[in-house]
Amino acid sequence: MKQFYTAVTDLRRRVTGGFTTFPYEAGWADEATYFVTIEESSAGALGVQLAVQISADGIRWHDEGTTMTVAPDSAEFVRLTHFGGFLRLAGSMESADGGPDASAVVTVRLALKG
């Protein structure tokens, strides 16, 4: 029988500029799905760019190659397999004027099956 677990790694977190989500140990799982919701955003925010990162030890991180863009007031997901021991997302805000003032409130959920 498969095991299933959903973790909320970031709950209503306000993000600006570059950021990473809370890392999660997922080595037991065969597959993972990240669900990302932007609950609110500042004027001029175009969305959030996210890249999946993997790690064997939770310290040294590598870009896995999967990316997504989440528009303001929307939600997206990515499915993953073959990801090693730890997972996280590395993100950056996109703004209309390119300035550092854009922000968003983000919730990230990680669903694991194995």
Please determine, for residue 98, whether its predicted confidence score (pLDDT) is greater than 70: no
Q: Which pair of tokens denotes residue 54?
A: 């993997």
Task: List domains and CATH numbers for the chain.
Answer: 4-113 (2.60.120.380)
In contact, 90 and 44? CB cutoff 8 Å: no
User: How confident is the model at residue 83, as a pLDDT?
Assistant: 87
The reported pTM is: 0.92
92 vs 2, residue with greater confidence = 92
Please determine, for residue 102, whether its predicted confidence score (pLDDT) is greater than 70: yes
Each residue of 25-72: pLDDT tens digit?
999 999 999 999 999 998 888 999 999 999 999 999 999 999 999 999
For residue 59, what is the DSSP state?
Answer: S
- In angstroms, how far is CA 100 from the centroid of its own chain? 20
In contact, 92 and 33? CB cutoff 8 Å: no
